[in-house]
Amino acid sequence: MEGESQKQGDLVAQHGWLVRHVAYRLKTTLRLQFALEELEQMGMLGLLDAARRFDATASTSFGTYAYYRIRGAILDETLSQQGLKRSQAAAIRRVRAMGDALEGLSDVAESASDMDYLVHAMVCATTASEVMESATVELEESEELSGYTATPEQVVAQKMSKALVRRMLGHLPEDERELLADCYFSSMSLAQHADRVGRSRSWACRAHARALLRLQELMASASSRMEE
């Protein structure tokens, strides 16, 4: 046990820079109103969790594994705070969903070539965004949308896209459909969904990536049929 604790301590010490990097990127990208030091404290909890849970026999490097845990810890904590604008909360959830998808993809596409992995990653990120958009309620005359008016054509395209996503969700296996419903429509984290169904967070990450890849295939097939 002492040797294991030493290994975990070494990992934390060696990757403190990653916490600072992720905290700074999230603060500037999402315009978070927290002090950088506060975000680093949130991220350090993610790094400690990563050091405890990391499987040295896995194909994923610790740096990659820790990156998603650090990122997720910061995003989960910011989402739990009061006073967030709806637009900012939606942006944080979108970034969180994409990170979850890419984290799970490392296992799902383990045997893929580098190029195939990049394609899978782009598909997962795009589909995560599309599902998130389908779960977003249109906010008319809100402060988030002030100054922006969609054209009638854009409104029709957006509605059709959302309708397609929701229709294809119904064609997924029940466990994958429930996972996406919890994480996108009920704002649960993957860890919360995993707890609800009695599975591990790692399982939820892999299932999430598989569900997004399957959903994109269903949507592409449906779109092709409509164009014929």
pLDDT confidence bin for 114, thresholds 50/70/90: low
Please report whether residue 95 resides in a domain.
no
Report the CATH number at residue 177: 1.10.10.10
Upper half-sphere CA count for residue 227 (Cβ side, 13 Å): 6
Please report whether residue 61 resides in a domain.
yes
Same domain, 1 and 67: yes
Please report whether residue 92 resides in a domain.
no
Please report whether residue 176 resides in a domain.
yes
Please report whether residue 139 resides in a domain.
yes
Report pLDDT digits (tens) over 10-62. 888 899 999 999 999 888 888 888 899 999 999 999 999 888 888 877 767 88
- Give residue 139's domain range: 111-228
Write 197-200 long-range contacts (CB < 8 A, 24+). Answer: none
Same domain, 203 and 115: yes
pTM above 0.75, yes or no: no
Please report whether residue 53 resides in a domain.
yes
Report pLDDT digits (tens) over 57-112. 776 788 888 888 898 889 888 888 867 777 777 778 777 777 777 777 766 555 54
Give Rg (Cα) of the chain.
Answer: 19
- Tell me the average pLDDT across 193-216: 87
Which position has the higher pLDDT, 38 or 137? 38
Same domain, 155 and 217: yes
Distance CA 186, CA 179 (A): 10
Residues 92 and 57 sit within 8 Å (Cβ to Cβ): no
